[in-house]
A and B are shown apart, each in its own frame.
Chain A
Amino acid sequence: MELVCPAGNLPSLKVAVDNGADAVYMGFRDDTNARHFAGLNFTPEKMHEGIRYARQRGRRVFLALNTFPQPGGWERWRAAVDRAAELGVDALIIADLGVLDYAAERWPELARHLSVQGSATNYEALRFYQRHFGIRRVVVPRVLSLPQVAHLVENSPVEVEVFGFGSLCVMVEGRCLLSSYATGQSPNTYGACSPAHAVEWREIGQGLETRLGGVLIERYGEGENAGYPTLCKGRFRVGQNTFHAIEEPTSLNTLELLPQLVAAGVAAVKIEGRQRSPAYVAQVTRVWRAALDACARDPERYSSRPEWDAELARVSEGAQTTLGAYHRPWQ
């Protein structure tokens, strides 16, 4: 199973490669990708350098072009496809049907992966994308259970990549507009969820509150660790109760499911976190490399090691991890 690691910048790319990533994924420095954050991503020059670094070490480089251009932005996305092809990346990760269509027509030899933002959760959709745009791989939304992933792989005309670790979207990616409802910008249109410019951190009497687009997301008491106000991870009121009505601020960790993912025929596992530090990338890549190697050596006796979980817990959002939808305690 291929280990696909995030590269938000050149130092991250290098430590991912050095710590055992089989492939890295990255984006241009604009809204053509779903991690459109200030100071993140690659200029074409850095990308060139990154590709060379990975190639010399036998690793692959994927480029995320996974947002949805509107007519006014179309030329920019088209130019991004061309630039990526000319840079010689190994695959494009695309969400929009029009962008896929263009890439397939203009650069038929360049591999195309369907981004998680393409919202493909069933094999009929995969057949559609494969037949019309020749996609080689799909990254599936983080909403499928393990048996569903296995069923999908069995019937899929293309390789299946799943998320293994990192921030957890509880909504189907590509179909979540919560961010634009509060801020005017969503992953689809802008390449960021809960964008930083819409965030406020306000001191209140006995602590801190976080807002997004003016909407109160969370209140923290003095000394409590305040998290980034990702909209779906706030505490809200429903009826008489105030709770994490959509999702707790936890992150995904599927280390203990590795033998099952391998047995299901999953082709690749993706680590989320292009927005995270090189230290995060190094640590997570190292642990996952060790786990994948252990699992390949002896899947029968594989189990997630406490020291791996401890290392990952240190870099996890909210310091808590969950198996997410793969194991559905809430279904």
Chain B
Amino acid sequence: MKSPKLSLGPILYYWPREQVLDFYAEAAEWPVDIVYLGEAICSKRRLVRTEDWLELAQRLEAAGKTAVLSTLTLLEAESELINLRRICADGRFMVEANDLGAVNLLEGRPFVTGPSVNVYNQRTLARLAALGLKRWVLPVELSRDTLAEMQAARPEGVETEVFAWGRLPLAYSARCFTARAHNLPKDDCQYRCLDYPDGLTLSTQEDQRFLALNGIQTQSAQTFSLLGQLADLRRLAVDVLRISPQSRGTGQVVAAFRECLEGRRDPAQAAAALEALMPAGPCDGYWFGESGMVAHGGGAA
């Protein structure tokens, strides 16, 4: 059985430019195969500009990685469409469409759909495959059993990628919740998300950590991890496992996945070690068809 490749998802947070450049300089040395690059959340985040992303893509390809350009998930303004067209027209790199507006510009060429494009059944997958889809990312709320059915009906030449590590992308809004938490209007947000390199944790009134605010995106507070499910992922012939970057320890996460995939490390031991890198503990309920926030850990399945 062939071993899945590893990818780094797009950085979902707003990090200072230097931090982004340093992150990818390091990532060039990590055992990942595919690197997704670009701003997928908020068009106001411009410390790293489109030309910088393109240059980073070139640099990572030179280092032997496959670079994919990720596009904005919530497209509203014309300026956002202009930037989208620029990314889609570049042509040097594959593009991850995070909205069907991007698919409209990409069809006929190979493209990827991100987790926010709702591919919930085989007919949707087949239709997109006919338009050039080369890889799709399983929507994060879908279970292992649904994935198994999708894999059974997967069109030829289409790869399947699964979000395997990170705070889960759960919702998108026109409202900026980080700005709201600071009592600021969105158009004067003062880029407060720069202060939360892994999102701003939201808790219930009894201090249960529940969600994470990341600008217009809402994430899970808990970190989703499929490190304990590698055997199952292999059986299901998943092609790519996505690791969503976090501000610290992403290299360790990549190394742990790689070592476990190669049988050089015990997944249960690795999963326990990685819990220290999770801001609010683990979750994996979606994989089992349960509430997303439930945590089974490595032992289940």
B172 & A330 in contact (Cβ 8 Å cutoff): no
Decide if A70 is an interface residue (CB 8 Å cutoff): yes
A125 & B75 in contact (Cβ 8 Å cutoff): yes
Tell me which of A72, A73, A101, A241 contacts B181 (CB under 8 A).
A241
**Residues 140-196 (chain B) with a chain A CB within 8 angstroms:** 140-142, 145-146, 149-150, 152-153, 168, 170-177, 179-181, 185-187
Closest-CB distance, B220 to chain A (whole angstroms)? 6
The interface bits of chain A over 96-139 (1 if a CB of B lies within 8 angstroms of the residue's CB, else 0) are 11110110000000000000000111111101110110000000
B204 & A181 in contact (Cβ 8 Å cutoff): no
B203 & A236 in contact (Cβ 8 Å cutoff): yes
Q: Provide the bound-state CA to CA distance between A64 and B146, in Å.
A: 24
Q: What residues on B are CB-neighbors of A14 within 8 Å?
A: none
Q: What residues on B are CB-neighbors of A48 within 8 Å?
A: none
A181 & B168 in contact (Cβ 8 Å cutoff): yes
Q: Provide the bound-state CA to CA distance between A328 and B180, in Å.
A: 12
Closest-CB distance, A280 to chain B (whole angstroms)? 26
Decide if B252 is an interface residue (CB 8 Å cutoff): no
Decide if A80 is an interface residue (CB 8 Å cutoff): no
Q: What residues on B are CB-neighbors of A143 within 8 Å?
A: 74, 76, 173-175
A122 & B118 in contact (Cβ 8 Å cutoff): no
Q: What residues on B are CB-neighbors of A186 within 8 Å?
A: 141
Interface 9-mer from B3-11, B96-104, B238-246 = B96-104
Interface 9-mer from B26-34, B61-69, B205-213, B226-234 = B205-213
Q: Provide the bound-state CA to CA distance between A165 and B99, in Å.
A: 27
A170 & B104 in contact (Cβ 8 Å cutoff): no
Closest-CB distance, B192 to chain A (whole angstroms)? 11
Q: Provide the bound-state CA to CA distance between A259 and B220, in Å.
A: 40
Residue count of chain B within 8 Å CB distance of chain A: 75
A184 & B290 in contact (Cβ 8 Å cutoff): yes
Decide if B270 is an interface residue (CB 8 Å cutoff): no
Tell me which of A95, A177, A236 contacts B205 (CB under 8 A).
A236
Q: What residues on B are CB-neighbors of A314 within 8 Å?
A: none
Q: Provide the bound-state CA to CA distance between A148 and B77, in Å.
A: 7
Q: Provide the bound-state CA to CA distance between A151 and B79, in Å.
A: 12
Decide if B128 is an interface residue (CB 8 Å cutoff): yes
Q: Provide the bound-state CA to CA distance between A177 and B170, in Å.
A: 5
Contact A219-B76, Cβ < 8 Å, known A70-B146, A98-B124, A124-B105? no
Q: Provide the bound-state CA to CA distance between A131 and B118, in Å.
A: 19
The interface bits of chain B over 62-88 (1 if a CB of A lies within 8 angstroms of the residue's CB, else 0) are 000000000001111110110010000
Decide if B285 is an interface residue (CB 8 Å cutoff): yes
Decide if A9 is an interface residue (CB 8 Å cutoff): no
Decide if B293 is an interface residue (CB 8 Å cutoff): yes
Closest-CB distance, A206 to chain B (whole angstroms)? 14
Closest-CB distance, B213 to chain A (whole angstroms)? 7
Tell me which of B76, B103, B218 contacts A144 (CB under 8 A).
B76
Decide if B267 is an interface residue (CB 8 Å cutoff): no
Sorted nearest first, the 10 A-B pairs with minimum C-beta distance are A98-B123, A124-B101, A143-B174, A71-B149, A128-B104, A181-B292, A68-B120, A98-B124, A125-B101, A331-B186
